[in-house]
Amino acid sequence: MMDKIIDLIESPDKSAMNEASKRLDTLIKPIGSLGVLEEISIKLAGIFGKVNNKIEKKCVVVMSADNGVCEEGVSTCPQFITIMQTINIIRGFSGVSVLAKHANSDIKVVDIGINGDVQYPGLINKKVKPGTSNMVKGPAMTRDEAVLAINTGIEIVGELVRDGYNLIGTGEMGIGNTSTSSAVLMAFTGLEADKAVGRGAGMTNEGYEAKKKTILKALELNKPDKNDAIDVLAKVGGLDIAGMAGCFLGGAYYKVPVVIDGFISAVAALVAYKINPKVKDYMIPSHISEEPGFKHVIEYIGLKPFLGLEMRLGEGSGCPIAFNVIEAATEIINKVATFEEVEMNSDFLIDMRKDC
Ligand SMILES: Cc1cc2ncn([C@H]3O[C@H](COP(=O)(O)O)[C@@H](O)[C@H]3O)c2cc1C
Ligand SMILES: O=C(O)c1cccnc1
């Protein structure tokens, strides 16, 4: 799947973007005064190939997977929280569940690699394997497994698009995934551990120092090739990251915007960007995650998140909040009047006054 689509990804429609930009400048407001809303309207015009767009159906895709590196104590939380919280997301109890409901968005929760045989109504079983291997002892997964997880993400987006969704968010659940994300970021950019590694879901000072050492050890042992995105993903990444990278690639192929959440989701966006930089034009960032590596990833891709909410949850929780803003952007370009329209109305008023 991946091999077939990556070279078919097209650039956004430049002429629709120019038209959108021109229309925004005719609206009754100072030029550019709706800031990011204008930028989003223009981006949507490029993605959908027309100026006036409507968000029909929204969905956050949550990729759940376990990480073998948890054996090294890189997270303060026990691994079973991955399963527990995955089910809580489906039950509607978690941060992303509540925020998605508030934004009138659906959620699809995918078991792409949970460690354990879990069946729960609403949990989509696409398990590639029951968690990755411990990356300080060898590669986290094989190339084939990484590609299979990417393909899963692409296929899920394809199904959503066929079902009428035209705005997709990316989320994850997987204890230990801030470690794999930092490792992927460092492998691609050479960024030092102090900048790329954070405290994830929470970490003591001692634990934090050990976490950095573990990540460096995994990079030293596996020597991922920064020019080969699949090599990086397979050696020091995770199945959740791979699945989300597939969502970004799928979004670009099927021409629907895909929203980035926090650090892990942004690293998945980076993987997709490394596979084909054109995907960037189909990505919409959301909030500025507090996880320190986040700003480096997002700057590297060259995107500008617009919500400063001091969040660091993951799960895709930033996406539904961004959905509200993205829908606001469509309302603006569709419904704010132009100077021309208003002049017609004021002529009408003057005529009315004359009649009185
Ligand atoms: C109860 C709970 C709910 C969460 N929801 C998302 N995460 C977040 O924390 C994890 C990454 O942090 P680390 O790398 O430190 O393990 C991921 O599952 C992420 O989604 C959670 C973490 C916990 C504990
Ligand atoms: O930014 C994120 O997505 C994040 C940060 C900390 C823990 N889990 C997720």
Q: Is the C-beta atom of 326 inside 6 A of ligand 1?
A: no
Q: How far does residue 118's CA lie from ligand 2's centre (Å)?
A: 24
Nearest CA to ligand 2 atom 6: 200
Q: How far does residue 231's CA lie from ligand 1's centre (Å)?
A: 25
Q: How far does residue 218's CA lie from ligand 2's centre (Å)?
A: 21
Instruction: Say which ligand is closest to the CA of 262.
Output: 2
Domains of the chain: 1-53+332-342 (1.10.1610.10), 58-328 (3.40.50.10210)
| 79-95 per-residue burial string, b: 16 or more CB within 10 A, e: under 16 | beebbebbbbbbeeebb
Cβ-proximal residues to 237 (8 Å cutoff; 6+ apart), any chain: 132, 140, 141, 146, 180, 183, 184, 271
Query: What does the block give as tokens for 321?
Result: 């909040």
Q: What is the pLDDT of residue 230?
A: 98
Catalytic site positions: 315
Q: What is the pLDDT of residue 350?
A: 57
Q: What is the pLDDT of residue 1?
A: 87
- Selection from 106, 112, 151, 147 nearest residue 130 by Cα: 112
Instruction: Say which ligand is closest to the CA of 181.
Output: 1
Q: Is the C-beta atom of 201 inside 6 A of ligand 1?
A: yes
Entry field: residues in the chain: 356
Query: Residue 261 CA: which ligand 2 atom is closest?
Result: 3
Q: How far does residue 84's CA lie from ligand 2's centre (Å)?
A: 17
Amino acid at position 346, single letter: S
Is the pTM above the cut of 0.80? yes
Q: How far does residue 144's CA lie from ligand 1's centre (Å)?
A: 27
- Selection from 175, 118, 179, 160 nearest residue 315 by Cα: 175
Residues with CB under 6 A from ligand 2: 178, 200-201, 261-264, 289, 291, 294, 312-314
Instruction: Say which ligand is closest to the CA of 267.
Output: 2
| pLDDT tens-place values along the chain, 356 residues long | 899 999 999 999 999 999 999 999 999 999 999 999 999 999 999 999 999 999 999 999 999 999 999 999 999 999 999 999 999 999 999 999 999 999 999 999 999 999 999 999 999 999 999 999 999 999 999 999 999 999 999 999 999 999 999 999 999 999 999 999 999 999 999 999 999 999 999 999 999 999 999 999 999 999 999 999 999 999 999 999 999 999 999 999 999 999 999 999 999 999 999 999 999 999 999 999 999 999 999 999 999 999 999 999 999 999 999 999 999 999 999 999 999 999 766 666 655 545 55
Q: Is the C-beta atom of 77 inside 6 A of ligand 1?
A: yes
Query: What does the block give as tokens for 89?
Result: 């997301």
Task: Please choose from 77, 263, 291 the residue to mutate so as to test ligand 1's pocket, defined by most ligand atoms within 8 A of CB.
Answer: 77
Q: What is the pLDDT of residue 33?
A: 98
- Selection from 259, 271, 279 nearest residue 12 by Cα: 279
Amino acid at position 209, single letter: E
Write a three-state SS string for 153-198: HHHHHHHHHHCCCCEEEEEEECCCHHHHHHHHHHHHHCCCHHHHCC
Query: Residue 201 CA: which ligand 2 atom is closest?
Result: 7
Rounded Cα distance between 147 and 238, Å, is 12
Cβ-proximal residues to 255 (8 Å cutoff; 6+ apart), any chain: 10, 47, 48, 49, 282
CB 100, CB 110: distance < 8 Å:
no
Q: What is the pLDDT of residue 353?
A: 46
| 48-65 per-residue burial string, b: 16 or more CB within 10 A, e: under 16 | beebebebeebbbbbbbb
Q: Is the C-beta atom of 261 inside 6 A of ligand 1?
A: no
